[in-house]
Amino acid sequence: NFTPVPRDAYRIGVPVSGIYREIFNSDSTYYGGSNLGNLGNIASVPMPWMGFPDSIAITLPPLAGVIFAVADEVSSD
């Protein structure tokens, strides 16, 4: 997010269903930021977005970047 405005419920597409864990947030107080983030985990929903089958709605801090990793993949079986 290259703007000074936080973005709530910013939707991004994800490749697999599951729980996504925020593994990096440049707005963390560790880096001198305001600590606005996603409280650790976000569950995907079966809403196609950006060419992906599922999506997550994240809090995008101002002037910051966040990185997510799949913490627990949901099987489609």
Q: How do residues 15-72 score in pLDDT, each as one tens digit?
A: 999 999 999 999 999 999 999 999 889 999 999 999 999 999 999 999 999 999 999 8
Name the band, by pLDDT with cuts 50, 70 and 90, for residue 77.
low
Q: What is the pLDDT of residue 75?
A: 67
Distance CA 21, CA 38 (A): 9
At position 6, the amino acid (one-letter code) is P
pLDDT at 76 over 90: no
- How far apart (Å, rounded) are the C-alpha atoms in residues 27 and 43? 21
